[in-house]
Amino acid sequence: RVSDGTVRIAVIGLGWWTVDQAIPAIDASGLCETTVTVSSTSEKAKRVAAGVETATHGLSYDEFHAGEAADAYDAVYICSPNALHLPYARTAAELGKAVLCEKPIEASSERGQQMVDACDEAGVPLIVGYRMHTEPAIRRARKLIRDGVIGDPVHAIGTNSQAMLELISDPNQWRLDPELAGPGATVTDIGIYPLNTCRFLLDSDPVAAQAFMQSSHDAFDQVPDEHSSFMVEFDDGTYLAATASQNAQATTSLRIVGTNGEILVEPAFHMETEIRVTRDDVSVTLDTPQVNQMTELFDYAADRILTDAPIGPDGEHGVLDMRLIEAVYEAGESGRVVTL
Ligand code: NDP
């Protein structure tokens, strides 16, 4: 599949995250390179490709689906609106390409499962781009929790908010369109960070959810959650209480409390991560490497593709998150506890 130890990537969907973050991060990776850009028009794709030293082709979505330049890449990185992840993943799988897909895996668990099935049938790896899984401070925190440093984990408190009103008020912004975003604007997009990072740190799976949510600003009239607050019960008996907002001061943190101590991740999710460990009334901020989280993610994905080693955030992992997110929205709407 891969020629000379470098994974050649076709990046799909040339929005701000791909152009400002992903392409430079791939550039900085020692294990992969961007060779193809894929966009709504071949003109835009070629224009972006012209600014990327390693890129040889710029394709429209139609050209991509028709299999053009398929010899020029080994894997795809999908960074389109959530409900458009599946068609690109399907085509990539049919072409025998590995798939790295942005979070959330898709706009629903059902469509996420279809992606898993398509990749399984084609025998290609599927990795969901949870960049916290490859963040050194988070990996360190996970090991400390495993090693019993905070005793037995009891509960977690997380938040992820951002002041996105200006961006999100753009009438073309897909995050406010349930057809493209999935069940809502907040939990699906940013609440997924405390939710999934807690799941990763505790190495536990969710079993039930409860939620409150509200939208008061006009911009959010299509979605239930300008602001959201949710609780998750995990299969080890621990709980997460979390909040998320697209219209609040940017704040990110996650606190894991155990019987003998706690780990505070703060800042947590906005591309900068630090951890503070407290045990027996002594608190220490750990000196963990400050990295480009997207480069770490691409290095990890390329390594998995090159070595066929087991994938942590695989398709099934992403589908379970979507089932939890659906449960959170159902709980918010019904006011009841929803079990998975
Ligand atoms: P943008 O709106 O900035 O970009 C999405 C791009 O998708 C567009 O620029 C467009 O590219 C393409 N696209 C294809 N069809 C459509 C359509 N119908 N409507 C709008 N755009 C379309 O989104 P983001 O880059 O912010 O998000 C893309 C994905 O990345 C999402 O799944 C999101 O959750 C994820 N993300 C992850 C982050 C992380 O921290 N890991 C951070 C930000 C986003 P073109 O013009 O080339 O066709």
Please give the ipTM for the structure prediction: 0.98
Residue 75 pLDDT: 98
Residue 165 pLDDT: 86
Closest Cα to atom 31, ligand 1: which residue? 81
Residue 171 pLDDT: 77
Backbone angles phi, psi at 56, to 5 degrees: -115, -20
Closest Cα to atom 35, ligand 1: which residue? 102
CA of 130, closest atom in ligand 1: 41
103 pLDDT above the threshold of 70: yes
Residue 4 pLDDT: 81
**In one letter, which amino acid is 189?**
D
pLDDT averaged over the chain?
96
Largest CA distance in the chain: 61
Strands (E), 129-197: 153-163
Residue 3 pLDDT: 66
Whole-angstrom distance, CA of residue 147 vs CA of residue 54: 43
Residue 168 pLDDT: 78
Distance 311 CA to ligand 1 centre (A): 24
Do the Cβ atoms of 186 and 244 come closer than 8 Å?
A: yes
User: Which CATH number is correct for 7-131, 3.40.50.300, 3.30.2270.10, 3.40.50.720, 3.40.50.620?
Assistant: 3.40.50.720
Within 10 Å of residue 53's Cβ, how many Cβ atoms?
8
To test the pocket of ligand 1, the residue of 16, 63, 80 to mutate (highest count of ligand atoms within 8 Å of its CB) is: 80
Whole-angstrom distance, CA of residue 340 vs CA of residue 330: 11
Contact residues of ligand 1, CB 6 A cut-off: 13-18, 39-40, 44, 79-82, 84, 102-103, 129, 131, 174, 189
Distance 77 CA to ligand 1 centre (A): 12
Average pLDDT score over residue span 201-226: 95
- 133-290+315-339 folds as Dihydrodipicolinate Reductase; domain 2 (3.30.360)
Distance 16 CA to ligand 1 centre (A): 7
Do the Cβ atoms of 101 and 84 come closer than 8 Å?
A: no
Average pLDDT score over residue span 297-323: 97
Average pLDDT score over residue span 11-39: 97
Choose between 101 and 4: higher pLDDT: 101
Do the Cβ atoms of 107 and 182 come closer than 8 Å?
A: yes
Average pLDDT score over residue span 225-252: 97
Residue with tokens 């699906």: 188
Please state, for a pLDDT cut of 70, what percent of the chain lies above it.
99
Q: How many CA atoms lie within 13 A of 314 on its CB side?
A: 14
Do the Cβ atoms of 313 and 142 come closer than 8 Å?
A: no
Kindly report whether the peptide bond that precedes residue 194 is cis, defined as omega within 30 degrees of 0: no
Chain region(s) in the chain for CATH 3.30.360.10: 133-290+315-339
Backbone angles phi, psi at 36, to 5 degrees: -135, 140
Residue 170 pLDDT: 82
Q: Quote the crossing angle between the two packed helices 315-334 and 109-122, to the nearest 10°.
A: 170
Closest Cα to atom 7, ligand 1: which residue? 80
Whole-angstrom distance, CA of residue 187 vs CA of residue 182: 10
Residue 172 pLDDT: 80
Dihedral of alpha carbons 311, 314, 316, 320, sign? positive
Residue 156 pLDDT: 98
Distance 140 CA to ligand 1 centre (A): 30
CA of 18, closest atom in ligand 1: 25
Return the structure tokens found at 312. 């942590």
Q: Which residues contact 218 (CB under 8 A, 6 or more apart)?
A: none
Do the Cβ atoms of 234 and 207 come closer than 8 Å?
A: yes
In which band, very low, low, confident or very high, does the pLDDT at 54 lie, cut at 50, 70 and 90? very high
CA of 175, closest atom in ligand 1: 2
Within 10 Å of residue 264's Cβ, how many Cβ atoms?
19
Return the structure tokens found at 119. 């990749």
Residue 179 pLDDT: 95
